[in-house]
Structure 1
Amino acid sequence: MTKPLAVGLIGITGSGKTTLATALAARGVVRLSVDEAVHRLHGRYGIDYPEHEYGERERPVVEAVLAELVEHLRAGRDLVLDHGLWLRREREELRRTVERVGGQLLLVYLPVEKPELLARLERRNRRSDANVMNSSHVSEPALSQ
């Protein structure tokens, strides 16, 4: 019997995580999105609540999404976690969680060249959906640091 697969996406805002996660969902993989869950609960980042409150609002959502992830894996469903996983400790925690419930984790890193990233972010900043919420933080000067 094969273990259920959890795909974890690693990448900066604009790297293509949501695009890949959506493509996998179209093939029957369960897609879990932290940004979309925060958006459903709290509205638009920097518009419906102050930017500095994002971390406080995101924390319980991440916990809820991880609980949902466990339920799906226990039920034998493959899934993709549409969340940045920028920090090593986040990736290690995800690995422990997935393995604890008998799943296997595949981490996918999505690198993107700076000119392409800036073009993607410029297009995203014209939208108002849940997946735009962090675009304003990634600017050309921020990328040069």
Structure 2
Amino acid sequence: MYMATSESSLRTDGIELLHLYHQNPSIKLRNKLVQLHTGLVRKMAHKFSHQCNEPYEDLEQIGYFGLIRAIERFDPSQGYAFSSFAVPYIRGEMLHFLRDRSTLLKIPRRWQELYNEGQKIRKDLAMSLGRQPKDAEIASHLRVSVQEWQEN
């Protein structure tokens, strides 16, 4: 088996597990999903670890809380990528941790405002649309690019 097949099968397994979890949540399935998506947490922890004095390992652990929240709230029937849904949850947990814990990291006011406004818009759109909004929909309401929203 070569790498492309392996990556493709992991992605398929992940989608199937997300559907199974959505239908019948269990700790065992959730833990498998966490294992499949550790890369999202590690990437974000790595990014933040260069911007503050908190240890990478602490950031990674906090990021898993965000990943678990995303797994629990994700609706796979909406047809969008889990990673796009999960990244703001992971980033949000890390930002909350850093804000509570560290005065050494100064989060730009623009990022704080964008994040807070984005969370309000996410909630409002979820109610009006009857589903979790896509990043593009949130970015559009914020009048920023999807990339700027996702990097926030």
Q: Tell me the TM-score normalised to structure 1 length.
A: 0.29
Structure with the larger RCO, 1 or 2 (CA within 8 Å, 6+ apart): 1
Would you tell me which structure has more helix in proportion to its own residues?
2
Would you tell me which structure has more strand in proportion to its own residues?
1
